[in-house]
Structure formats: C-alpha cells, structure tokens
Amino acid sequence: MDAEFQIRWLYADCCHDSYNHRMISVDVCHGEEVDCDVARSDLKARLSDGTEPRKMAWVDVIEPNEEDWRWLVETFGFHPLAIEDAQKQNQRAKADDYEGYLYLSVRYWIAFKRDAKSIPDLTDEIDVFLGENYLVTIHKRECPLIAEMRRRWERHPQRMPKEPSFLLYVLLDTVVDGYFLAVDSLTDAIDELEDKVYDDSGPLDIKPALAIKKQTLLLRQILSPIRDLLNQFLRTDQPIVAPATRVYYLDIYDHILRLVEQVDLQRDILSGTLDAVMAQTSNRLNKVMKTMTGISTILMSAALIAGIYGMNFENMPELHTRYGYFLTLGGMAAVSLGLVLFFRRIRWF
C-alpha cells in the first residue's frame, strides 16, 4: 500500500468509537497485528526477542508519576537531562539528539481564547522520545489527537508503515495542521475588527484590538520554535529517521512556513487596523474639538457684548435708551447666528 493512501486513511477514518484512556498505554506492533495493553514488565523482552518481523512499540503516558518516570528510565535508558526536560512544562519546542534516540518537545493547539494571556492558555505540551523501534509520547492531560491516532493504529495496523519515524511524522503533521484552525480563527477575529473600525456608526474600543494583537504575538511565539525544530530536524543527519520518511517531514516544514507567513501577514493587517483605530479616534476627537471650539467662540462673542454693557461707567448713552436691552439681545443673537452659519460653511458643525 503506497504512502499517499496511508496518509489519506489517517485523516479520512470517520469512526467515533470512544478511546480507552489509560495512564500508560503500551502497544506492540508485529507484522500486521498490534497487541494492545501489553504489560509494562514484558515490553523490554518483547522488543528484544529477535524474532521477525521487527517489533515496534508505542508507549503513551498521561500525567506520569515518579514510578512511571523510573520505569521509563529503566526500560529505555533515557538520559537524566532528557527526563528533566520532559518533566518541565511550558518550554519552547525543541529537538535534542541523544545516543540511540531523539527527544522532542512540541505544543499542540487547544482553542482560540480572546482572554488568553500566555502560551499555556492556548496550547498543551507533548514530549516525545523516538527510538529505532519505539515511540514514547508523554503529556500532562488527555490529548485527543494522540488518542485518535492510537485508536486508528490499533484497529488498522496494516495501513501504517512499520517505522516509528512515520508515527512521529503523523503526530507532528496533526499538530501543525491544528494551527491552521488557529490562524483561521485569528483571521476571522481581525476581519470582524476591521468591519467595526471602518463603520463610523458606533464608538470604537481599542481593547479588542489589543487582545487580538496579544493572540497574534502568542501564536507567533508558538510557531517559530516549531519551525526551527523542523529546520534543525531536516538539516542534521538523523539515522533514526527512515530515508523514505524524510520527504514527509519536508511537507510538514512547508506547512509550518506557510503558517508563519500567514501569521506575519495577519500581524501586518492588524497593525494597519490598529493604525486605523487610532486615526478614527483622533479624527473623532478633532471633530469634538471643532464643535467645542465653535460653541466657545459663539458664547465668547455674546459674552463680549454683555461684558461691554456690563461695565459700571456713568457715561454710556446706550444704557439709557428705551430699547437698548432688546437691541443688545438682538445684536448678541445676530452675532451668534452669523458665527453658526460661518462654522457650518467651513463644516465645523
């Protein structure tokens, strides 16, 4: 069965059977069959019994405790530094090359949250150990994408290449493809913000724009290390990765480059939108200032007339005229009306 069909199968299976979540899941593939729930104590013997075809194990660990970490070290001989990195959370995506195996740390997308303030609010971490005949995945919480991958692998092992590096490819490809949904959500949020910015009917609030900008920066911080990880992964000679699988890792790298470019594009669009928000706010402030200036000028003109005739001088003939009061009010009204017409002509009102 060709690899293209195998990949299509991985994403086209529509079964929705529930996956039996366990703290440590050990599956051993031999030939066209998969033995599920293999006892941890039997794993080492099963992998080294020397029979053909070569056996391959997938060990999935959820929220490991001290006993689980101890078993991993005793079974696979992982370096203490690799175990320390796997125990730490919220670190950058990276790949470390140890003797006989690789350690990788990646983050997969959870959901788009407008109130998110840090990377752990948007993603969860998966730690991976890749050996010649095993794949170990470690995560603190239930991981739906790993659960679905294992369920399909257990049900149809004949449709998967018997290489741990291909399983790792499927995992990384699923993780990276999940970020396309994140970029789509980000694009929709920016489009919605643009519609509000260019609609003059309502007041502008800069808080949503700043929140989306925060999401964009967080997404960029997540994707850049994954891009660097895959770049490092492809540029170095990795004997554990089957030569036939390397072309698929190039495909993942192409996907992550597209994602980074899209995030950069959305960041530029958002910067333009923020500039438009500030311009709209400044424009509305200018309109308010023009209106207030016009009103102040009108009131000052009327106050000037009232102030002149309010001075306490005895020799002011207009104060003794019969209709002086009404003439003064009329003059004030005429000056005010003239100023109103002037300001309307220059579009200040």
pLDDT digits (tens, 9 = 90+) for 207-252: 888 888 888 898 999 999 999 888 887 877 777 887 778 888 899 9
Q: Structural domain tally of the chain?
A: 2
Residues 6+ apart with CB under 8 A from 35: 27, 28, 29, 46
CB 194 within 8 A of CB 208: no
Tell which residue, 94, 128, 121, 93, has the closest CA to residue 107.
93
Residues 208 and 326 in one domain: no
Considering the domain architecture, whether residues 293 and 275 belong to the same structural domain is answered as no
Average of per-residue pLDDT across 26-31 = 78
pLDDT range class, residue 24, cuts 50, 70, 90: confident
For residues 40 and 64, the answer to whether their CB atoms sit within 8 Å is no
Tokens of 247: 């072309």
Domain boundary among 258, 279, 300: 279
The residue type found at 240 is: I
Same domain, 310 and 225: no
Question: Based on the domain organization, do 328 and 231 belong to the same domain?
Answer: no
DSSP secondary structure of 68-83: HHHHHHHHH---HHHH
The least confident of 113-127, 162-176, 200-214, 274-288 is 200-214
Domain boundary (279, 304, 326) is at: 279
Q: What is the mean pLDDT of residues 332-341?
A: 89
Q: pLDDT tens for residues 68-108?
A: 999 999 889 999 999 999 998 888 888 888 988 999 999 99
Same domain, 256 and 295: no
111 has a pLDDT exceeding 70: yes
The answer to whether the CB of 197 falls within 8 A of the CB of 280 is yes
Residue 125 shares a structural domain with residue 268: yes
Gap between the Cα atoms of 270 and 66, Å rounded: 46
What lies within 8 Å, CB to CB, of 221 at 6+ separation is 119
Q: Check pLDDT > 90 for residue 127.
A: yes
Name the residue with higher pLDDT: 41 or 71.
71
Per-residue pLDDT, averaged over 120-146, amounts to: 89
Residues 258 and 295 in one domain: no
Same domain, yes or no: 43 and 187 = yes
Higher pLDDT, 240 or 200: 240
Which of residues 227, 247, 279 is at a domain's end?
279
**Mean pLDDT over each residue of the chain, to the nearest integer:** 81
Q: CB neighbours of 229 closer than 8 A, spacing ≥ 6?
A: 93, 94, 95, 104, 106
Report the residue count for the chain.
349
Assess whether pLDDT exceeds 70 at residue 16: no
Among 28-42, 55-69, 186-200, name the one with the lowest average pLDDT.
28-42
Instruction: Check whether residue 63 and residue 200 sit in a common domain.
Output: yes
Domain shared by 169 and 295, yes or no? no
State the CATH number of the domain containing residue 325. 1.20.58.340
Tell me which of 277 and 253 has the higher pLDDT.
253
Sheet-wide strand order for 94-98:
33-35, 24-30, 56-62, 134-139, 123-131, 101-109, 94-98
Q: Is 187 helix (H, G, I), strand (E, B) or coil?
A: helix
Containing structural domain, residue 97 = 3-279
Which residues is 25 bridged to in the sheet? 60
Let me know if 48 is exposed, middle or buried by CB neighbors in 10 A (0-12, 13-18, 19+): exposed
Tell me, yes or no, whether 25 and 119 share the same domain: yes
Q: What is the pLDDT of residue 14?
A: 34
Rounded CA separation 222/219 (Å): 5
Query: Looking at residue 191, which CATH number applies to its domain?
Result: 3.30.460.20
Closest CA to 140 of 150, 151, 125, 119: 125
* Tokens representing residue 2 in the block: 């060709």
* Domain match, 103 and 146 both: yes
Distance between CA atoms of 271 and 205, rounded to whole angstroms?
A: 15
